[in-house]
Amino acid sequence: MLSSRNSASRLLFAATCLAGACLAAEATDMAAFKITSSAFAHNGAMDARFTCQGGDTSPPLAWTGAPAGTKSFALIMDDPDAPDPAAPKMTWVHWVLYDIPASTSAFAEGGAKNLPAGTREGQNDWKRTGYGGPCPPIGRHRYFHKLYALDVVLPDMRTPDKVQLEAAMQGHVLAEAELIGTYQKH
C-alpha cells in the first residue's frame, strides 16, 4: 500500500512538473514575441507625422519572436484614454488588420497604404478602414499597438470591428505583443 501511494505521489509530482515546464515554456514564447517601432520607444511620445496634426501616416512597426505554428497576425491599435485621460469613458479604435501573412515581420512608415498581399482591413471607430492616427481632444493619450500571432488564417469577415475580430481570434492566439506610444496635441 505504501509503495502504491509513493507511485501515485511520484506520478502527481511528475505531472505537476511537466505542466509547470509547459507553462514556463509558454511564458518564454510569449516574452520572446515583441513589437517595436524605429520611430518611438515603448511608452514614448509619437511624432506628429503619425497623427491628425501631421500626415496621419502609420508608424513603422517591426516584430520578432513569432511562435512556431504562426499562420497569420492581427493588429489592433486603440486608445483607452478617450476622450479625456483624467476621466476615460471609452476605448477608441484607430486601426484593425487581420490575416497579415506569417512571412511578414514589419510595416514601413506609411505601410497602411501598401499592406502585404492577403492582409485584410477591419473598421476603426471612424467607421472606415485604414489607419486613423492619434487625435486626442485633451491631454496625453496612450496608443496601444497590439499584435497577435494566430494559429489560423481567418476567413474573410468583410470589415470587422475590433469586437468582431477579437471574437474570431478566440482560441487561436498563440502570443500577443504590445507597443504603447503616447501623444498630446500641441
50, 16: one domain? no
Amino acid at 86: A
10, 85: one domain? no
Q: How many domains does the chain have?
A: 2
44, 114: one domain? yes
Q: Order the strands of the 106-107 sheet from edge to edge.
A: 34-36, 61-64, 106-107
Please tell me the predicted confidence (pLDDT) of residue 31.
63
27, 118: one domain? no
Please tell me the predicted confidence (pLDDT) of residue 17.
39
What are the backbone dihedrals phi and psi of residue 182, each rounded to the nearest 5 degrees, phi first? -120, 155
Please report, for the domain that includes residue 129, its CATH number. 3.90.280.10
21, 41: one domain? no
pLDDT along the chain (186 residues), means of 10: 39 39 44 94 98 97 98 98 97 98 98 98 98 97 98 98 98 98 96
**Spatial separation of the C-alpha atoms in residues 141 and 68, rounded to whole Å:** 34
94, 131: one domain? yes
- Using CA atoms, how far residue 153 sits from 5, 116, 170, 181, 182, in Å, is 47, 14, 13, 28, 31
Name the nearest CA neighbour of 38 among 140, 107, 115: 107
Please tell me the predicted confidence (pLDDT) of residue 126.
97
144, 159: one domain? yes
Asked if 38 contacts 60 with a C-beta cutoff of 8 angstroms, the reply is yes
143, 55: one domain? yes
Give me 1's grid cell.
Answer: 500500500
Q: Is 45 helix (H, G, I), strand (E, B) or coil?
A: strand
Please tell me the predicted confidence (pLDDT) of residue 4.
41
Give the domain range for residue 24: 1-32
46, 107: one domain? yes
Please tell me the predicted confidence (pLDDT) of residue 181.
98
Please tell me the predicted confidence (pLDDT) of residue 30.
52
- Using CA atoms, how far residue 69 sits from 100, 101, 110, 174, in Å, is 14, 12, 29, 8
Tell me if the bond preceding 83 is cis, omega within 30° of 0: yes
47, 137: one domain? yes
What are the backbone dihedrals phi and psi of residue 49, each rounded to the nearest 5 degrees, phi first? -65, -20
| Three-state helix/strand/coil letters over 72-109 | EEEEEEEEEEECCCCCCCEEEEEEEEEEEECCCCEECC
DSSP state of 129: B
15, 92: one domain? no
Please tell me the predicted confidence (pLDDT) of residue 6.
39
23, 67: one domain? no
